[in-house]
Amino acid sequence: MTVQPEQPTSDPRGTESAPEGGPAAAPAHRFRPGLDRIAAYRAGKPAPLGPGGRSFKLSSNESPYPPLASVARGLAEVLPASLARYPSIAAPEVAAALAARFEVGPESIVLGAGSVEVAAQMIHALTAPGDEVVFAWRSFEAYPILARAAGAVPVEVPLDADARHDLPAMAAAVTERTGIVFVCNPNNPTGTVVSRAELEEFMAAVPERVLVVIDEAYVHFDRDPGSPSGIEFFRRYPNVAVLHTFSKAYGLAGLRIGYAIARPTVAEVLRKVALPFGVSRLAQEAAVLSLDAEADLDERVDELVRERSRLFDGLLAAGLGPVPSQANFVWLPAGDESGRIAEALERHGVSARCFPGEGVRVTVGLPEENDAVLAAAAELVAAIV
């Protein structure tokens, strides 16, 4: 005899009651319209085990180095006292250090849990539902997610044939509904940069009411002499703000701290929509200590840039067509072959960021990690031959 499961009965509170002893059935919540169009942010995949049990995660653009030794020592001293109390919301020590570093007033510094959270603040503060956020595509994966989450409309402007921002097309995409334009420089995931002259022309074409955000998460790795300085444009244009992070070059991705440099009138409204206590005391301490040790930081950044060149040259020699990069990663515009490249990397214990049908982004790692990438590239060449 087949026993039919007990059917839930109607509940006068608008939910369904579950069978006795079972979990309560989910109520019929009224979710905000449009959430089905928001994709969850996709974090980099963990690395699989490769030959000899080696495993290299090169999918998230993290630093291959730990925090500087002086930073680690300082954090160890403040760790016990930092956990039981709320951190300072204003973070005056960090704001003062950054203000001195960039020669701006501390009122122009806004902090957040990584530069991505500050980008979210910007969208929430400067757009109303239905307003537009313009950015290149493909660019930072969070831009369309943040825009839709705020009720804004993401406007994706295709990159040009060289995987660079098409700034004239982005200027043409600005409408009366545009509140913000993001210029990711160097661009994630392609590693390309815009020139100073191109950005000058772009600023001349964009209305002053539109905030242009120069996202410089990877600026420490940029060696192109023609690249614009975000802080220079901030000083010259009233509608420019700059985004920076401690997640990349400083090796503090796990502590989540980034910041904007913005006009005081903009900074004030960003603070209104910021996550309260979003930047931990440990993160604040690490930021100040890192700024004090930038001479030591330069050495490891130079080493990473040398490894980037070696990785690029090896991938180029293998015929994989990497795009010249000014970031801490290399982009392979592989189209339909992207999945095959990602699989070859995984066989060598390497996880990279695969964008199916578009390309593969490989973070620059330590020499041993980059050797594994080049070994996978050689395997691909051998398979073709």
* pLDDT the model gives residue 22: 64
Looking at residue 211, its pLDDT comes to 98
Whole-angstrom distance, CA of residue 341 vs CA of residue 248: 25
Q: Does pTM surpass 0.85?
A: yes
Strand order in the sheet with 178-184: 109-112, 258-261, 240-245, 211-215, 178-184, 132-137, 153-158
Does residue 2 have a pLDDT over 50?
A: no
Element (H, E) at 182: strand 178-184
For the chain, first and last CA: distance in Å?
64
Domains and CATH numbers, the chain: 51-65+297-384 (3.90.1150.10), 69-292 (3.40.640.10)
pLDDT digits 0-9 by tens, 127-154 = 999 999 999 999 999 999 999 999 999 9
* Phi, psi (degrees; rounded to nearest 5) at 174: -70, 130
d(CA 204, CA 226): 18
The residue count of the chain comes to 385
How far apart are the C-alpha atoms of 25 and 48, rounded to whole Å? Answer: 38
Confidence of residue 295 (pLDDT cuts 50, 70, 90): confident
Cβ pair 237, 203 in contact under 8 A: yes
Sign of the CA dihedral 184, 185, 188, 192? positive
With tokens 């537009």, the residue in question is 132
The residue behind tokens 């030591």 is: 296
Q: Which has the minimum average pLDDT: 46-50, 74-78, 317-321, 322-326?
A: 46-50
Mean pLDDT of 340-355: 96
Classify residue 256 as left (phi > 0), alpha (psi -120 to 50) or beta: left
DSSP 313-340: HHHHHTT--PBP-SSSEEEE--GGGHHH
| Largest distance between two CA atoms of the chain | 81
Q: Is 270's pLDDT higher than 60?
A: yes
Return the DSSP state at 10.
Answer: B
pLDDT tens profile 79-121:
887 788 899 999 999 999 999 999 999 999 999 999 999 999 9
Q: Which of 8, 6, 13 is nearest to 24 (CA)?
A: 8
Cα 319 from Cα 378, distance rounded (Å): 10
Give the span between the Cα atoms of 118 and 96, in whole angstroms: 18
Amino acid letter for position 264: P
Measured CA to CA, the distance from residue 262 to residue 108 in angstroms comes to: 5
Residue 128 DSSP one-character state: -
State whether the Cα torsion 190-191-196-199 is positive or negative. positive
**Does 382 or 256 have the greater pLDDT score?**
256
Under 8 Å between Cβ of 249 and 301: yes
Whether residue 119 contacts residue 266, with contact meaning beta carbons closer than 8 Å, is answered with no
Whose tokens are 């001293």? That residue is: 77
pLDDT digits over 45-66, tens only? 666 666 777 799 999 999 999 9
Phi, psi at 94, each rounded to 5°: -65, -45
Alpha carbon separation from 103 to 71, 98, 108, 196 (Å, rounded) = 23, 8, 10, 21
**Dihedral class, residue 138 (left if φ above 0, else alpha if ψ from -120 to 50, else beta):** beta
Residue 192 has pLDDT above 90, yes or no: yes
Residue 216 has a pLDDT of 98
State how far the Cα of 59 lies from the Cα of 68, in Å rounded to an integer.
Answer: 22
Residue-by-residue DSSP string for 351-380: E-EEETTTEEEEE---HHHHHHHHHHHHHH
Token match 């204003």: residue?
Answer: 90
Q: Which amino acid is at 158?
A: P
Rg (CA), the chain: 23
3-state secondary structure (DSSP) of residue 175: coil
